[in-house]
Structures are given as C-alpha cells and as structure tokens.
Amino acid sequence: MQVMASRILSTLHYVCSSSASATKRCLGLYSHWQRSISGIAASVVADVEPSIAPVQIDQSQLLIDGKFVDAASGKTFPTFDPRTGDVIANVAEGDAEDVNRAVHAARKAFDEGPWPKMTAYERSRIILRFADLLEKHNDEVAAIETWDSGKTYEQAANVEIPMVVRLFRYYAGWADKIHGLTVPADGPYHVQTLHEPIGVAGQIVPWNFPLLIFSWKVAPALACGNTVVMKTAEQTPLSALYVSKLFLEAGLPPGVLNVISGFGPTAGAALCSHMDVDKLAFTGSTSTGKRVLELSAHSNLKPVTLELGGKSPFIVCKDADVDAAVEASHFALFFNQGQCCCAGSRTFVHESIYGEFVEKAKARALKRVVGDPFKNGVEQGPQIDSVQFEKIMKYIRSGVESGAQLESGGQRIGSKGYYIQPTVFSNVQDNMLIAKDEIFGPVQSILKFKDLEEVIRRANATSYGLAAGVFTKNMDTANTLMRALQAGTVWINCYDVFDAAIPFGGYKMSGQGRVRGIYSLRSYLQVKAVVTALKNPAWL
C-alpha cells in the first residue's frame, strides 16, 4: 500500500507542479486516493510464477479445403502467454487472399460436395463422432485454451470443454429434425415450405471464450447443412485450429470447415465484404459489430447475427438472501477474469441492505484466489493481454478519481503477466464511467437504489441489453422485473446459467439474433415456399 501511495503522490506532485491553478485540485485528488486506499487488504494470491503448460502446440497453420497450409503471404504472427507476455507460438497470418481461398473451398463444398447432399442422419453422425473425439481430448484442448487465454484450467477442463461437447451433441440431434410445413391455402393448391441451408457462413469469434463461442456458431451451421469459414481472434487462435483437426478425423468432408487465423482489418474485413459469403455471425464489441454490419450492407447484403457488448444489471432486492446474492454477484462479475459480455457489472442493491452487502462483497473479493491458471484452487488468472490490462487499470483510476469508494483491490499483482486484484467499488453513481462503460475486467461496481420503479429506470438507462440478474424471494417482484428489464436473458436467483437449449442474445446495441437453442437454427436456414396447382383434389 505504501509503495502504491508513494507512486500516486509522485505522479500527482509532478502534475500539480505544472500549474498553480491545478494544485488545489490535485491535492484534493491525492487526499481522496489516501482515503480510498487506507485499510484495503490484498486479495489471496497463489504463486503467479508460471508452470510449464502440459501440452505441445502442433497446429499453427490455416485450415483450407481440408488441408493445413501456410498463409499465401508466408507471414506469421505471435500468440502470447498472458501469464508472462512470452510468445507461445507463431501462427499463420491469413489475409484477404487466404479468405478468398477459404471461401472458394467452402463454396465448392456447398455447391458440389457431399455435405448438403448427404442425409441429415449422416451429418449428425459425423458431428457426434467429432464430439466423441473432443471429449477424448478434453484435457489437451483445455490446456491449450488456458495457455492461450489465461482462463483457469479447472474452468476450461471441467466446465467449458464439456459444454462444447454437449452443444455439438445437441445440434447433432437437431440435424435430422429440421423440416418445413404444409400450409393450407384458399384454392386448389398444395403449399409446402422447405427449410434449406443458407450456404457459406462467415463466422468471427472473440478471445474471451474462443472454443465455446466457436461451438455456438459452427454447430448449428453444420447441422443445417452449411459450410463455414471461421476467423479466429488474433489473441487466441490455437484451440480452434486444434479441434479442426479432430473434425477432419471425424470424417468432415474437405472445405466444409475452414479456419483462418488473422487480424480484423485484413482477414475479418475481407470475410465480411466477400460477395460469395451468404451469412455472417459475429461475437465481439459493439463498435466492431457496427463495422461488420456496414461491410455486409456494402457488399451483398448478407444477413448478420451479432452478439455484442453489455453492461448488465444485477439487482438485489430488500428481501433477498444476502449471502447467496453476494456469492452470485461475485461470480456474475469476476467469472473468467471479468472478461464476459454478460457480466453483472452494475450491482444494484436496495438501500436497506446496502451496507451489509458491501462489506460481504468486499470480504468475498479479498478471499478470491488469483494466480497461475494451471494451478489447482486458483479462481482467477491473468487478463488476456497488455491492452486489456491497461484499459482495466485506467477504469480503476477513473473510479477513484470520480469519487467512488475503493473497497478492495485496484492494483496489479506481480511484475510480469497481466494479473489484477479483484476490485470492488461502492458509492458508485450512474454517471461514472465505471457504471456506464463495459470494462471487461475484475471490477465490481455496487450502486444503491430505493424502490423497483427507480431501479427499473436506472437498469434500463443504457445502450446495452444483453442480460440481467434479479435476487428476490418475492415472485411478484421477480415477475415485475423479468418483464420490465430490457435484456435478452434475465436470471432469477442465479446467474450465468448456460445450456445448449437456452437462447442467448441482446436487446438494443447488445446485438441482433440469437445463438444456441432452436432459435440459432433460423439464422442458418432459408425458407422457401413451394406452391403446386391441384386438379380435382379430394380435399383442400
């Protein structure tokens, strides 16, 4: 604490000395920092010295037309270990030429290949074989995901990879159950609808859940009989390349799944603008989502599914079980290092229990174990990279400077890697940046409210609408809030409950369309009406 205070004082002294008029403001700011950091204990820190990752990286090339190949340019780029900032591997850097090659392969596989022409049952069997292989290689895939993204191995191995397996099996089950309708018409006509695959699907996944969101996009697309060109996040390209090899082993025909590692302005933009891509699916920031939509409109007006940012409210009512709500709100915010689009990042607590809640939320944050994500018992690993790390630290400084009370955390852990203490702010006001912006890090903002009408208004006063959480024992209160909150998912007395069958997506600027469940299938199908004239029908 003394070291941190000394650094802050030195910085403020330098700034204050630049002009006399700034002196009073700077001294007041330093006084506020002193009050904020006094008495703050550090969170539990496990050993942050990196252990040796228990996996080898065998695959770093692009997958195009059933073969792993170098980028056309021959370029590579490094992917980094968030625990240290060191290079894990150099990965092929795909660009527009590689996207062209991949789209051509996907188009040929769709127009001429066996995938959309084989029976739905056979497609289902191939997807199921892939799920079996993924389950067999669970630990290796989880290790790659941990090494490349910084998420804990326990989370990857015990939660995420099993969820990916489950989701592929879920959509494998849908493959032979996709069908149209027979529609009555006024007159002697037989009318039917056909549900047909849309064609070549371009897909772009983010870095926070690389393989999980890969499954959300690839599984329904393949179940419907489409072909895919996937662009991975440049921060986390490794797991998608690894599992694509398993898809080929499962019998997926060449060209049905193509994987391009590369950067957004080159490979991503080329995929979005490509005239031979029939549909786009993107998960990422709202600002990039707007660009994806724009490129689609300027090319061939391909339909777009967007799953974007969020600033989700977590509402704790006066009758809530405080201990349960504290634990759930902690999980809602700090899960995956806070790098979650639906994180419960605005914790609204009723004024009658606010003080008790803040103290218990602070105590829980101080018990959170931060360290090398490969080690047992660690709850929180490093942030993804230096860019995200600096962004989070900037928001933490903003919270203190704007008058929020720093209850715990707020500091870097260790001298290398991108570890941040679990951070809790109280006395947060709606106009503060930490209450308005998507931080995407381990920073909990706790706000106070008086009644339902007020909290509904404040919870909805955002451009986002991805998710919300409600803790109450009163079903009337729950029913009021679940209908009033403008969010694609509302969790009641729980949070972050995901299932293959539960649709997920946002209102407002949190996106358009839905992933998972039956709703996702609609994004990968065209509906065709077929009308046949009847002569002397026995019935209509």
Specify the length of the chain in residues: 540
pLDDT grade, residue 40 (50/70/90)?
Answer: low
Q: What is the CA radius of gyration of the chain?
A: 25
CATH architecture of 313-509: 3-Layer(aba) Sandwich (3.40)
Q: What CATH class is the domain 62-308+515-526?
A: alpha beta
pLDDT at 49: 83
The encoded tokens of residue 220 equal 């329904």
Q: How far is CA 128 from CA 43, 192, 244, 332, 437, in A?
A: 43, 30, 14, 32, 41
Mean pLDDT of 512-536: 96
Domain ranges for the chain, please list them.
62-308+515-526, 313-509
| pLDDT exceeds cutoff 50 at 36 | no
For 369-427, write each residue's pLDDT tens digit. Answer: 999 999 999 999 999 999 999 999 999 999 999 999 999 999 999 999 999 999 999 99
* Between 50 and 288, the higher pLDDT residue: 288
pLDDT at 254: 98
For 78-131, write each residue's pLDDT tens digit. Answer: 999 999 999 999 999 999 999 999 999 999 999 999 999 999 999 999 999 999
In the beta sheet, which residues pair with residue 515? Answer: 504
Angle at which helix 161-174 crosses helix 138-149, to 10 degrees, equals 120
pLDDT grade, residue 45 (50/70/90)?
Answer: confident
pLDDT grade, residue 44 (50/70/90)?
Answer: confident
In the beta sheet, which residues pair with residue 470? Answer: 315, 492
pLDDT at 14: 32
Among 140, 145, 160, 307, the one annotated catalytic? 307
What's the one-letter identity of residue 416?
K
The encoded tokens of residue 125 equal 């069997």
| pLDDT exceeds cutoff 70 at 160 | yes
How far apart are alpha carbons 241 and 145 in whole angstroms?
11
Q: Mean pLDDT of all residues in the chain? A: 92
Dihedral sign for Cα 11, 12, 14, 15, please. positive
Q: Of 277, 255, 256, 253, nearest to 267 (Cα)? A: 277
Report percent pLDDT > 70 for the chain.
92
pLDDT at 42: 60
How far apart are alpha carbons 420 and 175 in whole angstroms?
44
How far apart are alpha carbons 16 and 27 in whole angstroms?
8
| pLDDT exceeds cutoff 60 at 507 | yes
Residue 307 designated active-site: yes
Check for a shared fold between 62-308+515-526 and 313-509: no
| pLDDT exceeds cutoff 60 at 28 | no
pTM: predicted TM-score of the whole model, two decimal places: 0.91
For 222-243, write each residue's pLDDT tens digit. Answer: 999 999 999 999 999 999 999 9
